[in-house]
Amino acid sequence: MAQTVLHIDSSARLSGSTSRDLTAQVVERLGAKQVIRRDLATPLPMLDEAWIGANFTPADQRTDDQKATLALSDTLVAELQAADTIVLGAPIYNFTVPTNLKAWIDLVARAGVTFRYTEAGPEGLLTGKRVVLVIASGGTEAGSDIDFACRYLRHMLGFIGLTEVELVAADQQMVDAEGSAKKAQDAIAALAA
């Protein structure tokens, strides 16, 4: 049983969303003692010059304005740090992730906070956590040459140290809705609680 789950949804659809439905089932299956909820349907701010300037200013030298600029990013990182398991729902839009999910990644991938550079290359700092990645698509097959979402998410999650990634895919729903749903349900049933 997971102690603390960070439940993230990124679908723009608040109702009728396959990825939202499946992430809720995964969270229930895991039986967490505590669930931190992060819904990305409300867009996050995009990185801008002020954010980048604040981020690259040493923490002990930041102005109050710079601290305020990084406050949301700090909260998002703290959610990741507090979680034992991350359940991340991502529909595939135009072969990749929704823009709101990309904005979340931009806000949590921070040098010296969630990863660091070493002589051997970058090293993720959010280690020892489990990720259940829930993917939904109409026509894109998860893991195929045209699936840029799964590849990108696995890379970015690994970059910040989240390398234990399990996939629940309800892909190609427009091709075989019944088969897609069964495959996703089988993957959820196979998850260790």
Spatial contact of 153 and 97, defined as CB atoms under 8 Å apart: yes
Spatial contact of 83 and 4, defined as CB atoms under 8 Å apart: yes
How many Å separate Cα 130 from the centre of its chain?
11
CA dihedral 34, 32, 85, 39 (to 10 degrees): -60
Residue 18 annotated as binding? yes
Residue 144 annotated as binding? no
26 closest CA partner among 177, 170, 180, 172: 170
Pick out the residues of the known binding site.
Answer: 11, 17-19
Q: Which residues are annotated as a binding site for FMN?
A: 11, 17-19
